[in-house]
Structure 1
Amino acid sequence: MTDLTDADIDADADRVSAAPDRTSAQPLAGRRALVTGGASGIGAAVVRALAARGAHVVVADIDTAGATALAEEVGGSIWIVNLMDTAALTDAALASALAGVDILVNNAGIQRINPIQDFKPADFHNILTLMLEAPFLLIRAVLPQMYAANFGRIINVSSVHGIRASPYKSAYVAAKHGLEGLSKVTALEGGAHGVTSNCVAPGYVRTPLVEKQITDQALVHGIPASEVLSTIMLTESAIKRLVEPAEVGSLVAWLASDDAAMVTGASYTMDGGWSAR
């Protein structure tokens, strides 16, 4: 594991410019990726998938211990950041953190569950800041270098709630719908510059965030936690199980590869058939 330094960034930039040979086993060799919320859950699975395919991965997270441990595991770097503190995400700070990055994965997210009339405005603001404003700022900062290199991959971890709605999730649904729109605009603007932008839209993934949702949903609906999956979360899915984080990581890694060069402006659902209804 290495911290971000000017020397590391310069070395990685040289490595990318040297256009290393890529193989079927290492299709991302020479690429530098940054994954927000990368220390756990879906983010950690994405980090491992990208690293396994040859990318140097920057684990961006507020969790120093988790990010450090994972970066050591995959031979990556860390960026300890609170993405909800947008005042700290200045152009200079982002330029330093994103230098050399040609694969950006916007994954960081939180969840709050309440009826609209009980939803705290501060919670609504925080969710939109982390899950829509921060991705915009990161995309805005990384696009110039991607355009200069005529290559870039923007991959936004959305959700089935980016194309469907559920009660009690006003902020999360609003943020994910907005992220889907932002991704499409990025695709249209970036296409002429070798930059693709896509969303991955999973259903419920086996993560700590979903485990907490099970508890919250049980309270909101007045049912035992043991009944939440069968009676609330998976009722619309044709495949009655949670998505595994590694499945999401695999799809993200493919979208980051040269094989997906003609895939842009898309939203790939991984929801067990939920959105087919």
Structure 2
Amino acid sequence: MQRNNNKPALVTGSTSGIGLAIAHTLARGGHPVMLHGLADPQSGARLQREFADSYGVSCGFSDADITTEGGCQQLVAETREALGNTAILVNNAGIQFTAAAHEFPAEQWHRIIAVNLSAAFFLARDVIPDMRAEGWGRVVNVASVHGMVASANKAAYCAAKHGLVGLTKVLALENADSGITANAICPGWVETPLIQPQIDAIASTEGITGDEARARLVGEKQPMPRTTHPEAIGALTLYLCGEFADTLTGATLPVDGGWTAQ
């Protein structure tokens, strides 16, 4: 049973990849959805129409720049105008840059921390008062296995994702008496277009098929050499917003083929 399935949801970074899958899943479950991302206004409008036509729910779109506190405040305000107060906040937006720590560009450090961590804090700070007033709310932070373990050349990403896991626990503790839960989902390898260039490079270099290259890439980290489909992250998010997750809070939930079990 899916209770409270008409609660408005704000999903950052939801015009593609994991975020878009989460938005589709929530809308399919009956939640009005605020889409957010780098899409141009025309593409955003097309997505809104698609969601409204497919799921019969209200849908908004914002391209607010969440690298700043003001941009986060703009996103909350635009969500309130389009759908009402945010009852479900999914902090999914994330960016990546790789380099050794001693060579890491300062501007990339600040940008990754801003999008992957600071935005989640500012958005949670601004929507939780409404959740507390309502006596119900859900914060779902899409972290990463890199919020639990590290990989070389990912200093900013690992720092941000570890910070996001810590922020999740604090929000859970502070709001445990207010009908609000906060949880972190930590995906491993997810089947999105972002990994295809790495698969293609392995296949070309080693003269193997795409499927073999995918298994080689994923198997370097995961005992289960299979990628996770974005829809699986969407389904877990929907569960965290449903009836049977009322007491599930402060959790760090890996979806990683056994990566962090090692």
Which TM-score bucket, shorter chain as reference?
A: 0.7 to 0.9
Distance 1:88 1:77, change over 3 A: closer
Mapped partners of 2:213, 2:124: distance in 1: 36
Equivalent of 2:17, from 29, 41, 66?
41
Counterpart for residue 46 of structure 2: 69
Q: Secondary structure at the match of 1:89?
A: helix
The CA deviation string for residues 7-28 of structure 1, in whole angstroms up to 9 with x for no partner, is xxxxxxxxxxxxxxxxx3x544
Aligned residue number for residue 81 of structure 1? 64
Distance 1:208 1:80 in 2: 21
Distance 1:274 1:259 in 2: 27
Question: Are 2:79 and 1:97 equivalent residues in the alignment?
Answer: yes
TM-score (norm 1): 0.82
Q: 1:151 aligns with which of 136, 139, 145?
A: 136
- The CA deviation at 1:89 is 3.5
Task: Measure the CA separation in 2 of the matches of 1:54 and 1:46.
Answer: 13
Unaligned runs of 5+ in 2: 53-58
Task: Answer yes or no: is 1:175 the counterpart of 2:160.
Answer: yes
Report the Cα distance in structure 1 between the residues aligned to 2:108 and 2:152, rounded to whole angstroms: 16
1:256 aligns with 2:257: no
- Report the CA distance between 1:217 and its aligned residue: 9.1
SS in 2 for 1:156: strand
One of 54, 57, 62 as aligned partner of 2:33: 57
1:6 alignment partner in structure 2: none
Structure 1 portions without partners, runs of 5+? 1-23
Q: Specify the alignment match of 1:202 in structure 2.
A: 187
Q: Which residue of 2 aligns with 1:7?
A: none
| Percent identical | 36
Q: Which residue of the partner structure matches residue 100 of structure 2?
A: 115
Partners of 1:224 and 1:124 lie apart in 2 by 33
Query: How does the TM-score come out when normalised to structure 2?
Result: 0.86
Task: State which of 251, 254, 257 in structure 2 corresponds to 1:272.
Answer: 257
- Distance in 1 of aligned mates of 2:215 and 2:243: 39
| Aligned residues between the structures | 247
Measure, in 1, the Cα distance between the counterparts of 2:79 and 2:102. Answer: 39
Q: CA RMSD in A?
A: 2.3
Deviations 1:11-60 (A, max 9, x none): xxxxxxxxxxxxx3x54432110100011000000001001111011101
Is 1:239 the counterpart of 2:216? The answer is no
Q: Secondary structure at the match of 2:176?
A: helix
What per-residue deviation string (whole Å, max 9, x for no partner) do you get for residues 168-226 of structure 1?
111111110000000000000011111000011110111133335x28997xxxx6697
